[in-house]
Amino acid sequence: MTKPSVLDVARSAGVGASTVSRVLNNHPHISESAKARVLAAVEELGYTPNLSARSLRSGQTGAISVLLPMTGTAFYETLLSAVQAGLEVHDYDLALFPLLGERRFRRFRESGALLYHADALLIVSQSPDQLYAGRLPFNKPVVLLDAHHPHHHSISFDNPAAGRMAAELALSRRLPLVLLDVAEGPGDWPSPAFLERRGGVLETLSRRGVTPIQTLHAHTSPNYGREAAQQLIASGIRPPFFLLALSDDLALGASRQLLEAGWQAGRDYLLLGFDGSLEAAQAGMSSVAQPVSQMGGAAAETLLAALGGGLSTLTQRVFAPSLQERASTAASLVLGSR
């Protein structure tokens, strides 16, 4: 009642183990009769190959592990779809390991749970230094996406520039500024990308001598944007103002809450987010956009190059932000149409 192996199949089919292997791997030059008998035996015994043994032999797994902070957002869906698309031509599969919360994160770091049976590792939105105190416990190709590091291949977005771009737009509207920042809790760091965005924003503000009249903090999920907006309303603020949120998700969450208070983006206050998401476009919200799919595609290319061994020098690609101006930052409000 133990799991059948190639040898069991071989015996049952009356052939050698190597013939079984050849049939299973579609080798040429196999007699029809042998093939038929092997397949019949496989069927009868319910044989399934042992992937660990196969990988041990071949030195390959056919999978690429992806370490990412979470999955429940359109951003990661788009990003990973693009990576996937670029990879499946070469028959690689993506295995996702969301770090969902501090607990899991700790396990990763401490117990050294080297769980990736994979040929390469894609680290998304995270710094390897943060993940692993010292050297990566992984001697296969590593590529960073939406993050960067001096010692690793990386595909990233110019978040400081994006932050500056956003701040410039905000300043140009000459309204009191409210900053919707990300929260830093114990064990719940925002991704480095957010910190860089914030850095770009603050740098520009301080250079112009401007201080936000209020800074709110929210965890990076659209639902938390609502909570922050509640705080804002509770603070007794009155429009008009310029709400600069560090992500589209946060901005959208906040705008929904503000709408319930009767304030509409582009009419009562101005609103700007980051990422250039589809939802931002649909909601008529301005955004500092990043080319998410392109970045995913670039990551796939880099992974393939690294796997092919043709990557002796460090590849570091940085994508530039672009501004998507829509109704939510309409300049008319500035002119005091209210």
Partner DNA sequence: TTGAAAGCGCTACCAG
Partner DNA sequence: CTGGTAGCGCTTTCAA
112 touches DNA by CB under 7 A: no
Which residue from 169, 166, 171 is spatially nearest to 273, judged by alpha carbons? 166
278 touches a second copy by CB under 8 A: yes
* Structural tokens at position 237: 């603020």
- 40, 43, 50, 88: residue in contact with DNA (rule CB under 7 A): 50
9-17, 146-154, 187-195, 301-309 -> range binding DNA (CB under 7 A): 9-17
44 touches a second copy by CB under 8 A: no
58 neighbors 49 (Cβ within 8 angstroms)? no
91 touches a second copy by CB under 8 A: yes
In the bound complex, what is the minimum distance in angstroms from residue 141's beta carbon to DNA? 17
Within residues 138-157, the interface with a second copy by CB under 8 A covers 138-139
Nearer to a second copy, 70 or 131 (CB): 70
Which residue from 123, 137, 140, 136 is spatially nearest to 55, judged by alpha carbons? 140
* Structural tokens at position 160: 């400081």
Count Cβ atoms below 10 Å from residue 212 Cβ, excluding itself.
Answer: 19
Nearer to a second copy, 27 or 208 (CB): 27
116 touches a second copy by CB under 8 A: yes
Which of DNA, a second copy, none does 21 bind, CB closer than 5 to 8 A by kind?
DNA
326 touches DNA by CB under 7 A: no
Please, where are the H alpha helices in the chain? 6-13, 17-24, 32-45, 51-58, 74-88, 101-110, 128-131, 159-172, 192-207, 222-234, 248-260, 278-282, 292-307
56 neighbors 273 (Cβ within 8 angstroms)? no
Distance, in Å, from the CA atom of 138 to the CA atom of 160, rounded to the nearest integer, reads: 30
In the bound complex, what is the minimum distance in angstroms from residue 30's beta carbon to a second copy? 18
Q: Which residues lie near DNA (CB under 7 A)?
A: 2-3, 5-7, 14-22, 24-25, 28-31, 33-34, 47, 49-50, 53-54, 56-58
